[in-house]
Amino acid sequence: MWHDGCTYTIRRWFELRIFCGILYRVSLWTRTGHRRTVTNVRRAVAVVRSLIVGGWVSVSLSVLMIAPTSFFADYGAHVRPLEEIRALQRLGHRVTVCTYHNGGDVVGVDTRRTIDIPWRKRIVVGSTKHKFYLDAALLALVAREIGRVQPDVVHGHLHEGALIGHLTRPLHGVPVLFDYQGSLTAEMIDHGFLGTHSPLRRPTAAMERAINRTANVVVTSTQHAADLLRGSGDVSGGRVCCVADAVDTARFRPDALSATERAAMRASLGIRPTDKVVAYLGLLAPYQGTDILLEAAAKTLREVPEAFFLIMGFPGNERYRVLAERLGILHRVSLPGQIRYLDAHRYLALGDVAVAPKLSETEGNQKIYNYLAAGLPVVAFDTPSAREILGDRVPYAQRGNADSLAAHLTALLRDPVRQRQQALDGRTQAIRQFSWTRRGVELLRTYERILPTEKRGLLDLTPAPAYHVSFAADDD
């Protein structure tokens, strides 16, 4: 540790000496005439470039990320920005996150928060009237932090983040990337914030389309969403690209727990050694399919009595406990509540089968990536995002149909050979295709499209190395 610290200090001292020498030479060259000045400045730039390429001088991109959420909270919408940040940091770049006043700090992530709002302490999930003043406070924070951060690119998540990036453009004058995670209007309807026939639906849709057009480039988490945006005509095809979600395959893996740890954790949740565990980890809400999942659980238990449903997440935990009791299956269901993202891999390792009953047709489905990396065979509704991840190699339940979901769960629970094959295929796919390191390079290539020419040299776009695939070992 001491040796590493000394090496780092000595290297930085040499960097400083080199830069001072270059600056001194440039100051001398400027006295020798304009033509020679230009020539020698070019030589100096070439020297600096060679030092950078040689690894003697470290440069990085400065990214200001806007997260109009209670970052960080333990659910899917927060996983994408966190893993993007980590991927960019691993590639040597600096990311500063501006977000709401509440939420958990993540070690190693430079987080700037809005002013404290004392009457709003709990985590903000989805659409709510409170977001009007929370986003106003976030706008003020971003306007203040721009001068301190001096970003090369502004990366706005969700429509609110893209709008704030656009409104502050006169202050920063740098490109804005819009990280699109689904239709704003559809989300408001899914969350019950906006009625299907509400008079506010058209104005909201018009505002959404206007925001879609503000950014220099729009990045989606699914190809389906990118196709919808292109087809709508709101965004030209050249300004839309897909950087899909991914998973940390080093953490989410089949052997995340030892046999002893797994047995102990299962017992603590009321799971018997012979139980076949169906795992779900995500938000608990009607648009996530939680109500339908419990209905399907009741039907599945009639056919497979040894099944056990481990339904993890928040909010509405007590509401779903009451529903499980009303369905007469509470003794075969565990609702442990919110699970920390740092512990998610351990809890998924308790399952034998995973279920993804999300109903939204415009949003991504981050949980499926985690399921695959954890070596869990997946039962999902037939939605564009599920098909984009799982392809045609698995059967799908009819969207929104509890009977269909139960039938597919029953069939999979009764077929251990198919379980093992799907688990192996899923883990292999996660390692080969769904690495956050690869997604980080894809994100940098998107930044390259909108950065001015003189700043593109800050990007290291070396392709990620090939992966050797193994079922249980870490290959990322």
With beta carbons less than 8 A apart as the criterion, state whether 96 and 151 touch. Answer: yes
What pLDDT is recorded for position 232?
A: 85
- Residue 265 is classified by DSSP as H
Please report, in tens digits, the pLDDT of each residue of the chain (476 residues total).
Answer: 444 344 434 444 444 455 445 545 545 544 445 445 545 545 554 544 444 444 444 468 999 999 999 999 887 789 999 999 999 999 999 999 999 998 899 999 999 999 998 887 776 666 677 889 999 999 999 999 999 999 999 999 999 999 999 999 999 999 999 999 888 888 888 767 788 888 888 889 999 999 999 999 999 999 999 999 999 888 887 899 999 999 999 999 999 999 999 999 999 999 999 999 999 999 999 999 999 999 999 999 999 999 999 999 998 899 999 999 999 999 999 999 999 999 999 999 999 999 999 998 888 899 999 999 999 999 999 999 999 999 998 999 999 999 999 999 999 999 999 999 999 999 999 999 998 989 999 999 999 999 998 888 777 665 444 333 333 333 43
What pLDDT is recorded for position 124?
A: 64
- How many secondary structure helices (H) and strands (E) does the chain include? 18, 12
Our CA dihedral for 468, 472, 475, 476, rounded to 10 degrees, sits at: 140
What pLDDT is recorded for position 465?
A: 44
Q: Which of 322, 258, 311, 315 is nearest to 280 (CA)?
A: 311
CA distance 169 to 131: 21
What pLDDT is recorded for position 475?
A: 40
What are the backbone dihedrals phi and psi of residue 303, each rounded to the nearest 5 degrees, phi first? Answer: -95, -35
The structure's pTM equals: 0.80
Residue 457 to residues 35, 45, 65, 451, 463, Cα–Cα distance (Å): 25, 12, 21, 10, 16
Q: Which of 297, 245, 260 is nearest to 276 (CA)?
A: 297
Q: Which of 469, 406, 270 is nearest to 350 (CA)?
A: 270
What are the backbone dihedrals phi and psi of residue 266, each rounded to the nearest 5 degrees, phi first? Answer: -65, -45
CA distance 382 to 396: 5
Q: Which of 428, 460, 429, 466 is nearest to 447 (CA)?
A: 460
- Residue 238 is classified by DSSP as G
With beta carbons less than 8 A apart as the criterion, state whether 313 and 75 touch. Answer: yes
